[in-house]
Amino acid sequence: MHANLDHWQERVDMAAAFRWTARLNMHEAVANHFSLAVNDDGSRFLINPNQSHFARIKASDLLEVDANDPSTMDRPDAPDPTAWGLHGSLHRLCPHARCIMHVHSIHATVLACLEDSRLPPIDQNCATFYNRTVIDDGYGGLAFEDEGSRCAAMLTDPKVKVMIMGNHGVLVIGETVAETFNRLYYFERAAETYIRALQTGRPLRELPPEVAEKTACELEEYPDGSETHLAALKAILDDEGATYAK
């Protein structure tokens, strides 16, 4: 059935990530995008089709496009212009960003709307991202190509895995779908903890810098967590008879 579709397992993983992101209400209508590089230099990538709801995306739906092909937007199945602008620029200019997930999830977006968008290490999840985020405070409108190139210039440090997109949302990068989705999931959890802690109006108890960095390193080296997380989600979807792997 899928003899003519390359990168099938990667497509299945991507489709599962889309479905679960919708289930967690971390998507926004048909406006957000995930992509995954499928060649060595990262220029060819899979991305969700234009105006497709995350809850319905199947592995066979994903587009394969080339960041270096200027005729991409002339295709009859061209991706969303902002998806092409942001993800195309990042895959072209940041080859270490193999997988890219961009959403307007509630708590990450609330964080991005604060005058101070830093995420302090107030718990283990927050410590995961200690010294591993960059804050974009230069929002310039919809993520067409110029805006995408500007964002790409802020992700040159391989240690930085999350961009808090001021007045916009969050963008997470990683090596694989499992790693990137796991990071996206935990960033939203961390942002929720921080926002809820702020809502109490009481002083925050921050971890000391050396403990926060130690915790972040330990979690980066924790074995198989990302892969096990995605495998469990796919098993749940399979048990429910979901159509993501078609």
Residue 199, amino acid? Q
Beta strands in the chain (DSSP E): 33-37, 44-47, 63-66, 99-103, 133-136, 162-165, 169-174
Q: What is the pLDDT of residue 4?
A: 64
> pLDDT band for position 84 (50/70/90)?
very high
Q: Is 45 exposed, middle or buried (0-12, 13-18, 19+ CB in 10 A)?
A: buried
Tell me, yes or no, if the pTM score tops 0.75.
yes
Mean pLDDT, rounded, for 62-85: 95
Share the mean pLDDT of the chain: 95
146 has a pLDDT exceeding 60: yes
pLDDT, tens only, 179-228: 999 999 999 999 999 999 999 999 999 999 999 999 999 999 988 889 99
Q: What is the pLDDT of residue 115?
A: 97
Q: Which two tokens stand for residue 185?
A: 């999931």
3 has a pLDDT exceeding 70: no
Q: What is the pLDDT of residue 2?
A: 59
Q: Which two tokens stand for residue 114?
A: 């604060």
Beta bridge partners of 1: none
Rounded CA separation 28/30 (Å): 6
Q: What is the pLDDT of residue 91?
A: 97
pLDDT, tens only, 105-135: 999 999 999 999 999 999 999 999 999 999 9
Rounded CA separation 113/198 (Å): 14
Domains and CATH numbers, the chain: 8-239 (3.40.225.10)
Q: Of 53, 57, 160, 164, which is closest to residue 105 (Cα–Cα)?
A: 164
The three-point CA angle 68-136-17 to 5° equals: 60
Q: Which residues contact 11 (CB under 8 A, 6 or more apart)?
A: 5, 46, 59, 60, 62
Q: What is the pLDDT of residue 93?
A: 95
